[in-house]
């Protein structure tokens, strides 16, 4: 049926000989002819592809990436997105690749319609602070969707690509982020094979419930604008060591309650964005964020920051989101996660469970409104 394929044979044998499932990202070439109006001039479609071999060495799944990143000019799009799943003795799995995670199809469809327990996620993820580092966003996606996510990233620090993880609905079980070495890292952790069962009895989060109970503020003379990854945010700065703040943009109002362990010279802001992102892709965002500015100048707010010195006693962040799909992020100094140190309440508040153990770089509710893309 298939021509000899040494790479596939090696993957198959690797799975069978070790009684494991193996997932690999490869290229896949499919011949076509002139009867197909979309057939490339060389007579072949080229797809960015994931393959899965089971513990007997059988090919059980193949997925062609649908949402290509802007630089993937060597690959073709499938005509339609396909949500690919496969069953195992330890739950139902789905697969997609890299940029797919920012879109509804196939990522959300796999969870909301096909009810997968775990997602396998090969990626070449270029980290973008403050919201889109690999470990930060991938762990947030697993929490927001209520599934396990196994993320394997290309490790190329010269392209800002690092950050792998084993993520569960309650946070990261293991992760690796290191921009100082070219060495990779093997991650191992135990996961609940059917996490959706333990979540089924819990009420769903109403992401706007708490924020809608707060009266919309009058115009704030301290508000100012700034860019984060080409999107124009509305900011207000945290001038006091503790307090309650609101900032609004369009229909999104963000509310923050906070207390710092001590006010330093570092500047923090509360920011809101409600709009269509149109740079490397088109996707509609609603974002509420507490973040550290790069310097004491307000025009530095939104620029990438990796380190901080300011510690918080507590924080509580919420927003009047119009979408059900909101991903909670907490990033500490040194681009480190905060597993077990925060939670999302059923009224939509992202809160610290106890005093955060490290200085805060950003606390964010990253909302995706797929219907407005």
pLDDT 10s digits, 126-163: 999 999 999 999 999 999 999 999 999 999 999 999 99
Question: Exposure pattern of 78-107 as b/e (b: 16+ CB <10 Å)?
Answer: beebebbbbeeeebbbbbbbbbbbbbbbbb
pLDDT confidence of residue 196: 85
Instruction: Report the mean per-residue pLDDT for the chain.
Output: 96
Write phi, then psi, for 136 (nearest 5 degrees).
-70, -55
Query: pLDDT digit string (tens) for 78-131?
Result: 999 999 999 999 999 999 999 999 999 999 999 999 999 999 999 999 999 999
What is the model's pLDDT at position 4?
64
| Domain map (residue ranges) of the chain | 6-199, 209-372
Confidence of residue 300 (pLDDT cuts 50, 70, 90): very high
pLDDT at 3 over 80: no
Beta bridge partners of 165: 151, 175
pLDDT of residue 282: 97
Asked if pLDDT for residue 1 goes beyond 60, the answer is no
Tallying the residues shown for the chain, one arrives at: 373
pLDDT at 150: 99
pLDDT level of residue 34 (50, 70, 90 thresholds): confident
Query: b/e map of 204-237 (b: 16 or more CB within 10 Å)?
Result: ebebbbbbbeeeeeeeeeebeebebbebebbbbb
Take residue 253 and report the two structure tokens written for it: 């109002």
Q: How far is the CA of 103 from the CAs of 69, 86, 151, 221, in angstroms?
A: 12, 21, 17, 36
Nearest to 100 by CA among 76, 69, 146, 133: 69
Residue 334, pLDDT above cutoff 90: yes
Retrieve residue 9's tokens. Answer: 């044979």
Tell the residue number behind the tokens 């964010």, with chain if given. 364
DSSP letter string, 35-88: TSTT--TTSEEEEEEEEEE-TTS-EEEEEE--S--TT-TTS---SS---EEEEE
pLDDT at 218 over 90: no
Query: Do the Cβ atoms of 260 and 241 come closer than 8 Å?
Result: yes
HEC readout, 286-344: EEEEEEECCCCCHHHCCCCCCCCCCCEEEEEEEECCCCCCEEEEEEECCCECCCCCEEE
Residue closest to 287 by CA, chosen among 320, 246, 259, 316: 320
**How far, rounded to the nearest angstrom, does the alpha carbon of residue 253 sit from its chain's CA centroid?**
22
- Fold observed for domain 6-199: Nitrilase/N-carbamoyl-D-aminoacid amidohydrolase (3.60.110)
């Amino acid at each position: 049926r298939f021509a000899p394929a040494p790479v596939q044979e090696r993957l198959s044998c690797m799975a069978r000989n070790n009684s494991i499932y193996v997932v690999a990202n490869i290229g896949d070439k499919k011949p076509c002819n002139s009867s197909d109006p979309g057939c490339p001039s060389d007579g072949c479609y080229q797809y960015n592809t994931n393959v899965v071999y089971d513990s007997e060495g059988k090919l059980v799944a193949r997925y062609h990436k649908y949402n290509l990143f802007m630089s993937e000019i060597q690959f073709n799009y499938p005509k339609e997105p396909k949500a690919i799943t496969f069953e195992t003795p330890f739950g139902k799995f789905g697969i997609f690749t890299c940029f797919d995670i920012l879109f509804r199809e196939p990522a959300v469809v796999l969870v909301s319609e096909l009810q997968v327990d775990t997602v396998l996620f090969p990626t070449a993820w270029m980290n973008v602070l403050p919201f889109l580092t690999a470990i930060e966003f991938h762990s947030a996606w697993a929490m927001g969707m209520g599934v396990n996510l196994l993320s394997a990233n290309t490790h190329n620090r010269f392209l800002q690509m690092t950050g792998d993880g084993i993520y569960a609905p309650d946070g990261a079980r293991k992760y690796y982020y290191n921009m100082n070495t070219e060495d990779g890292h093997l991650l191992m952790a135990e996961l609940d094979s059917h996490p959706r069962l333990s979540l089924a009895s819990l009420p769903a989060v109403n992401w706007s419930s708490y924020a809608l109970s707060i009266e919309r503020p009058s115009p704030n003379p301290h508000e100012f604008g700034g860019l984060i990854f080409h999107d124009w945010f509305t900011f207000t700065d945290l001038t006091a060591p503790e307090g309650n703040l609101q900032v609004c943009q369009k229909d999104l109002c963000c509310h923050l309650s906070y207390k710092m362990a001590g006010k330093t010279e570092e500047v923090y802001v509360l920011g809101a964005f409600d709009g269509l992102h149109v740079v490397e892709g088109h996707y509609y965002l609603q974002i509420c964020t507490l973040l550290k500015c790069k310097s004491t100048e307000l025009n530095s707010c939104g620029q990438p920051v990796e380190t901080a010195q300011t510690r918080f006693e507590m924080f509580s962040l919420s927003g009047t989101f119009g979408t059900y799909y909101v991903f909670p992020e907490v990033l500490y100094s040194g681009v480190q996660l905060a597993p077990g140190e925060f939670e999302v309440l059923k009224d939509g508040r992202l809160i610290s469970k106890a005093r955060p153990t490290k200085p805060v770089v950003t606390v964010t509710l990253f909302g995706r409104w797929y219907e407005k893309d």
